[in-house]
Amino acid sequence: MTTTDAKTQIEETVKGNDVVLYMKGTKTMPQCGFSSRVAGVLNYMGVEYTDVNVLADDGIRQGIKDYSEWPTIPQLYVKGEFVGGCDIITEMTLSGELDQLFEQNGVSYDKQAAEKIREANG
């Protein structure tokens, strides 16, 4: 896959889905701890999202880093906008910012689950 093809495919995926997680592995079988943590938060909060396994395609693996100008995986996108990686998503979950982001963008999630994550980590 060429760089242009990867960029086009990434753009279509990011803009065509409300929530996208570029990760190592899949949402049901993450292949790294950081991907597992972010997928775990989204799964627990009941967020519908598209997972893209960067290990399945080197073009996408490099392409997503170029696309976001962010050097690491996982990467979360909401409504076409890059939100962040594992540390940022963890902080946003604990501060309640992720809830606000989902609410502002009309993404449904389980508010009680989000509260439970904060209680467990508070």
Question: Residue 7 is encoded by which pair of tokens?
Answer: 């960029």
86 is in an annotated binding site: no
Whole-angstrom Cα distance, residue 104 to residue 59? 32
What is the per-residue DSSP string for 8-31?
HHHHHHHHHSSEEEEESB-SSSBS
For residue 56, what are the contacts with CB-CB under 8 A and spacing of at least 6? none
Q: Which residues are annotated as a binding site for [2Fe-2S] cluster?
A: 32
Binding residues are: 32
